[in-house]
Amino acid sequence: MSLKADTRKGDKILATYERTFTHEEKVNKLKKFNSVYYNGNAKNWKICRLPNWMEFYGNSLQKELDDKLPKYYRKFKQGTIVMVDYGVTVGNEMAGMHFAVVLSSKDTKYNKNIIVAPLSSKYHKGYVDLGYEPLLGAEKLFNDKVSNLEKEIQNVLTNLENFEQNHELKKHFSLSPATSDFLRKNNIIDLPNLKFTISPDKNINSDFKNLIATIKKLDSWVEFPDLFEFVSYSDTLMEFSDSLIKKATMLKNEVQNAKKLRDEISKYNNRSYVNVSEIRSLSKLRVSKFSYLSGNISVSKDSLALIKSKLLNII
Whichever domain contains 69, its CATH number is 2.30.30.110
DSSP codes joined into one string, 37-65 = HHHS-TTSHHHHHHHHHHHHHHHHHHHHH
Q: How far is the C-alpha of 55 from the C-alpha of 66, rounded, in Å?
A: 16
Does 199 share its domain with 308?
Answer: no
Does 64 share its domain with 10?
Answer: no
**Alpha-carbon 117 to chain mean position:** 22
Mean pLDDT of 17-24: 83
Q: How far is the C-alpha of 85 from the C-alpha of 37, rounded, in Å?
A: 19
Does 149 share its domain with 260?
Answer: yes
pLDDT-wise least confident of 16-25, 134-143, 246-255 = 134-143
Does 253 share its domain with 277?
Answer: no
Does 25 share its domain with 64?
Answer: no
Does 35 share its domain with 123?
Answer: no
Q: Diameter of the chain by CA atoms? A: 107
45 lies in a domain?
A: no
Task: Tell me the pLDDT band of 268, cut-offs 50, 70 and 90.
Answer: low
**Alpha-carbon 304 to chain mean position:** 27
61 lies in a domain?
A: yes
The Cα angle at residue 192 between residues 190 and 197, in degrees rounded to 5: 150
pTM: 0.63
Does 162 share its domain with 218?
Answer: yes
Q: Tell me which residue of 191, 184, 188, 181 sits closest to 233, measured CA to CA.
A: 191
DSSP 3-state assignment of 105? coil
Range of the domain at 284: 56-130+273-314
Report the 10 Å Cβ neighbour count for 157.
Answer: 13
pLDDT-wise least confident of 10-14, 67-71, 229-233, 294-298 = 10-14
123 lies in a domain?
A: yes
Average pLDDT, the chain: 82
Does 191 share its domain with 211?
Answer: yes
Name beta bridge partners: 113.
Answer: 283
120 lies in a domain?
A: yes
Mean pLDDT of 121-148: 81
The Cα-based distances of 173 to 183, 187, 209, 229, 282 in angstroms read 14, 19, 16, 9, 65
Name beta bridge partners: 272.
Answer: 131
46 lies in a domain?
A: no
Does 150 share its domain with 216?
Answer: yes
Mean pLDDT of 228-257: 82
Q: At what angle do helices 31-39 and 45-65 cross, to 10 degrees?
A: 130
Does 175 share its domain with 254?
Answer: yes
- pLDDT for 227-240, tens place per residue? 898 888 888 878 87
77 lies in a domain?
A: yes
245 lies in a domain?
A: yes
Please check the confidence at residue 11 and state whether its pLDDT lies above 90: no
* Residue 240: predicted pLDDT: 79
135 lies in a domain?
A: no
Name beta bridge partners: 287.
Answer: 84
The Cα-based distances of 57 to 31, 209, 288 in angstroms read 19, 49, 16
Based on the structure, what is the number of domains in the chain?
3
Q: How many residues does the chain have?
A: 315
Does 158 share its domain with 218?
Answer: yes
Does 258 share its domain with 298?
Answer: no
DSSP 3-state assignment of 199? coil
* Residue 169: predicted pLDDT: 45
